[in-house]
Structure 1
């Protein structure tokens, strides 16, 4: 009976070996490019802050100016409206204000400001060499740099979509390689598991390469699985929808409704004009909101009494609410932000979406980006993801070498009988 089981397992394992092999060989080059760029991009924020430190760090000189003083100064000097603020409470850090001109499309321009002097340190419109480099790393990681090619490669889809598709296929094959690797490794090493957890450095290079592939993959297994399982979220809409439904965060797309005040609401004969008081009320409702940022911070900290950075999105209309997000800081800080909606009239909390109040499934579902890039638990998890991504970059290389070394070599040609006799003599 045991012989039959052993034979059956060898057949099953051979199938998984082949799947593992060809999944790795097919996706190898793409996985190397994606994982290499991902290894660098794990520390995207830290690299930018180190290389362009003049934008992010300031000297503590006296008292900080208030957020409202800085806001008024920026709006006057740049002739634009502040639409967002990222307020950092750390003494040696700059603060960020996002400004948009009237009628400007897009997200606007973010300015880095010294909170002590009010000096503008730079803005996102001025691309530094670091920003350019990290942009290339992001493009390589997401679209394999195909978005940088102006001429369409295929008529059926754009270059960015093509890069996203190839990336998704390679990531799914990588995930398949991780799963089959588990099936191959565990039953084979269960009896001699200690040997499977170390590298025999005294052996020849082929054995060392084999041990590096198996051992490093085992130690980083859970991180490789998470990266592989979250990666296709940005490649395929069906995968993204499946993820959202699995973790109970899916919401049906909302159809765009007609803008208020359009032609559909106008009556004949001037019925839609209204009287003077109504017109004044409408103008007041659509005017930009005038709010105290310091009061917004006070209301936020009263509701969320912990240390963290605050991001404020100011409404474009006086009647619209204020959106606030607060992010925890620290070495083990979790990534999920707490979100508040404040009334623009009195800054009372009208809605609070706290990350800790969400069910566990929804916390996982909403953390897909943090799970992928590794900042789910601050700098602690970032380092683990960095090491795991570095290992993932090496796996296609060590795996290919294992396959190359195991190839059947052609048998040496037999020497003629006369030659053998002569050699014996």
Structure 2
């Protein structure tokens, strides 16, 4: 029976080994993406707190508009930490960027990562909630299913960069366009080998093979007797190189098998539409999220809007104004003040500005005791009166959303902070070695079989 499992283990490994090694390597690089990004560009993320109070958001957004005149502001992220910069996400393609640029799968995923919060309508497109520390956001985790491009790529027209602003001086401290970073390349390799939809499918199929490889590997590892247990649990460092290679594959493979299986299983959520649908089906949860509530447009503004609809040439709209709050609506500072009243202990506040006259303002906040760094609460405010139209805590999300939301922190190893990240990095690096040590074992076995055949032929 073990011969059968050995053949499955061998042939699946030969087919998918190289891809698995690349995926494990890039995954290891991405484990500490946030920390490395902040270490390489500390000026983007941190400032020296000043004795003077923070400047109003209106002044900070004006500084961004001066820095990027043609860009429209989509959302503003403010940290409670006085040493953090304010992150302002821009909507629309950066100046000079072609609309058709990067229409491959990797580019769509990059824009999905950098998209403003809440831009998608599906549970998958908005599962991550409120952008990550590196400005990517956590949008588009999975395909977005019925939401189509809203969940997966979310921005065929392109999404602008994140601009970092000193909250005390209004100086722009940096800009991040995720698609231009080293980590975007690693992410593109990790998810689809830079091969577009076909590459993504290849990675997904290879991941499924990897799960079978791990399962058959456990079967092959299982000792035939109790005496062999100790041998299978310890690396014999004093043995020859063949024995050492064997132990590195067998022993370390056993210790890392469970985590590699978890990483591979959760990774399927980024490869297959049916897998995401299955999460919601198993948890008996609706995949589509309700449409956001709408603001009540004052009668005076409704009259103006109606007159503009009749004679639009009389009041041309400014470029990018579709994503900015109407002049008669609440200011960003008023929204932030209300958000701080509703969640005074929040780690950060993300304000998604309304895209038209009837949209509401979405505010996402992260509690200090949150399950993971994107397990946010959200509230929708009327953009004119500031009244709360709808609110939802993380615990009030349906079971499918909460389960799907855990996939990313589990997959990246960030679920328990630094300890789990270190373990994840080690396991990913081990995952790179297993195709190598396994191939060496196979070649040694072939060489031994040929040598035995020669001996038998000579004896005959």
Question: Could you state the TM-score of these two structures normalised by the residue count of structure 1?
Answer: 0.75
| Residue 133 (str. 1) matches residue 182 (str. 2) | yes
Q: 1:119 aligns with which of 162, 167, 171?
A: 171
Q: Does 1:251 align with 2:300?
A: no
User: What secondary structure sits across from 1:116 in the alignment?
Assistant: coil
Separation (CA, whole Å) in 2 of partners of 1:91 and 1:135: 29
2:381 corresponds to 1:342: yes
2:41 maps to 52
**How many residues get paired?**
371
**Of residues 162, 165, 169 in structure 1, which corresponds to 2:205?**
169
CA distance in 2, matches of 1:236, 1:394: 26
By how many angstroms is 1:219 displaced? 2.3
State the distance in 2 between where 1:301 and 1:38 align: 36
- 1:99-154, Cα deviation, whole Å (9 max, x unpaired): 34799953333211111211112223598xxx5322221221122133xxxxxxxx
Deviations 1:375-408 (A, max 9, x none): 2333333222222211111111122222222331
Partner residue of 1:364 out of 381, 403, 428: 403
Equivalent pair of 2:92/2:158 in contact (CA under 8 Å):
no
Q: Determine which of 243, 250, 258 is the counterpart of 1:222.
A: 258
Matched, 1:409 2:458: no
CA distance in structure 2 between the partners assigned to 1:314 and 1:278 by the alignment: 19
Deviations 1:212-260 (A, max 9, x none): 22222222223211211122322232333223323444536999xxxxx
Partner SS for 2:451: coil
CA RMSD after TM alignment: 3.6
Aligned to 1:71: 61
Match of 2:85 in 1: 94
CA distance change for structure 1 residues 320 and 142 in 2, over 3 Å: closer, same or farther?
same
Q: 1:84 to 1:252 in 2, by over 3 A?
A: closer
Q: 1:211 to 1:306 in 2, by over 3 A?
A: farther
Q: What is the rounded CA distance, in whole Å, between the counterparts of 1:416 and 1:249 in structure 2? A: 69
Q: Confirm or deny: 8 A CA contact 1:331 1:380 kept in the other structure.
A: no
Query: Distance between the aligned counterparts of 2:256 and 2:220, measured in 1?
Result: 16
Greater Cα radius of gyration, structure 1 or 2: 1
Correspondence for 1:280: 304
Q: Which structure 2 segments of 5+ residues have no match?
A: 96-156, 292-298, 310-321
Aligned to 1:8: none
Equivalent residues in 2 for 1:201-350 (5 A)?
Answer: 201-251=237-287, 279-280=303-304, 282=306, 288-289=325-326, 290-328=329-367, 333-350=372-389
Question: Which moved further from structure 2: 52-61 or 27-36?
Answer: 52-61
Shift of 1:164: 1.0
Given the two structures, how large is their TM-score scaled by the length of structure 2? 0.70
Deviation at 1:85, TM superposition (A): 0.9
CA contact (8 A) 1:94 1:115 kept: yes
CA distance in 2, matches of 1:253, 1:341: 14
